[in-house]
Amino acid sequence: MIDREPRALFAQAKEGSRTALARLVTYVESGGARQRESVALAYASAPPYVVGLTGPPGAGKSTLTDRLITTLLERGRVGATTIDQLGVLCVDPSSPFTGGAILGDRIRMQDHATNAAVFIRSMATRGHLGGLSLAVPDALRVLGAVGFPVALVETVGVGQMEVDIASAADTTVVVTNPGWGDAMQANKAGLLEVADLFVINKADRAGVRETRRDLEQMLDLGGARAWRPLIVETVAQTGQGTEALVEAVEAHQAYLASGELARARERRARAELDQVLALTLRARVTTLSGSEAYEAQVRALLAGTTDPYGAAEALLSR
């Protein structure tokens, strides 16, 4: 019997119940009291190490994720982190329900779907407060709390939201293809900034050297920084380069271990708190503006007995 209460679900999920885990992820997606309770329980445990993959549709993210799952489980570790099970979130911000892109991803990862060591979950917008940009980090914390040491997040698309979600990872992998130089210019601001690693996937095609050169040039233009993103060539279809990608993840993880991981997580904690604060305040405004007290302030404004600032202060101090 699968429980409905978050606390019991966490206990079941820790014992290996994927149904219980799936229900917890549904709770954090859907909002409401169960979401609040699930999130509170999840944040009491350490987060997993998160590797995010982003890049344009068709770049090969899902195929590469599929390869990464195999390689990571075979190796059984990434850096100092032991991997006995792996959580994978496939995120599609543009889709209000489980749509075509994610269906394709699931088919590509189907071999792993029956593997007890792998939990694969699609997430799409459910329209609750904050939507996916909060639900994804919350779901990652749920994975951490039930014992997943490492999680992968694949986001579909290249909009700002996709970039935000993928870059909320400890290691962000931007997946490109040969000949992507021009598109890269267009996305420069968003993707260059968030990339810890670049993958030139479909390296079986022409133009790899030029793309690498373009990427190197853009990194040069970015000036000196503590971590210079590594560029890895892969052929996800055959698995070529997957080991090299895992080694690049390990190199970045080793760099983070010097204290940067804690600083990056602090930055993300602040950003998430800001986001929740803003959403909570906006929700409060919506509630207030439907209230009788609000109508009283409107009448006072029209009567000239208050001003908008005084009216707002009066409403907020209630």
In the complex, the residues that contact ligand GDP under the rule CB under 6 A are 57-63, 104-105, 108, 201-202, 204-205, 235-237
The option from Mg ion, ligand GDP, none interacting with 253 (CB < 5 to 8 A, set by class) reads none
Segment (H or E) for 197: strand 197-201
Q: How near is the Cβ of 112 to ligand GDP at its closest, in Å? A: 14
Burial of 99 (0-12, 13-18, 19+ CB in 10 A): middle
Nearer to Mg ion (CB atom), residue 61 or residue 121: 61
261: three-class secondary structure by DSSP = helix
- Token look-up 């770049």 returns 59
Query: Cβ distance 152 to 88 under 8 Å?
Result: yes
Choices 105-113, 144-152, 164-172, 247-255; region in contact with Mg ion by CB under 5 A: 105-113
Nearer to Mg ion (CB atom), residue 105 or residue 233: 105
Nearer to ligand GDP (CB atom), residue 147 or residue 181: 181
Query: Per rule CB under 5 A, is residue 233 in the interface with Mg ion?
Result: no
The option from Mg ion, ligand GDP, none interacting with 201 (CB < 5 to 8 A, set by class) reads ligand GDP
Q: How near is the Cβ of 59 to ligand GDP at its closest, in Å? A: 4
Q: How near is the Cβ of 154 to ligand GDP at its closest, in Å? A: 7
Q: Cα separation of 175 and 157, whole Å? A: 11
Pattern 42-61, Mg ion, x by CB under 5 A? -------------------x
Q: How near is the Cβ of 8 to Mg ion at its closest, in Å? A: 34
Query: Per rule CB under 5 A, is residue 177 in the interface with Mg ion?
Result: no
Query: How many residues in total does the chain contain?
Result: 318
Query: Cβ distance 172 to 227 under 8 Å?
Result: no
Q: How near is the Cβ of 257 to ligand GDP at its closest, in Å? A: 29
Nearer to ligand GDP (CB atom), residue 205 or residue 282: 205
Q: Cα separation of 279 and 244, whole Å? A: 41
Q: How near is the Cβ of 273 to Mg ion at its closest, in Å? A: 31
Query: Cβ distance 69 to 109 under 8 Å?
Result: yes
CA separation, residue 256 to residues 21, 71, 86, 198, 259 (Å): 29, 22, 21, 17, 6
Q: How near is the Cβ of 101 to Mg ion at its closest, in Å? A: 6
> 231-262: buried (b, 16+ CB within 10 Å) or exposed (e) per residue?
bbbbbbeebebbeebbebbbbbbeebeeeebe
Nearer to ligand GDP (CB atom), residue 206 or residue 221: 206
Q: How near is the Cβ of 121 to ligand GDP at its closest, in Å? A: 16
Query: Per rule CB under 5 A, is residue 105 in the interface with Mg ion?
Result: yes
Query: Per rule CB under 5 A, is residue 62 in the interface with Mg ion?
Result: yes
Query: Cβ distance 121 to 65 under 8 Å?
Result: no
- Rounded to the nearest 10°, the torsion over CA 269, 274, 276, 282 is 180
The option from Mg ion, ligand GDP, none interacting with 115 (CB < 5 to 8 A, set by class) reads none
Backbone angles phi, psi at 168, to 5 degrees: -80, 20
Nearer to Mg ion (CB atom), residue 150 or residue 152: 152
Which residues here bind Mg ion, judged by CB under 5 A?
61-62, 105
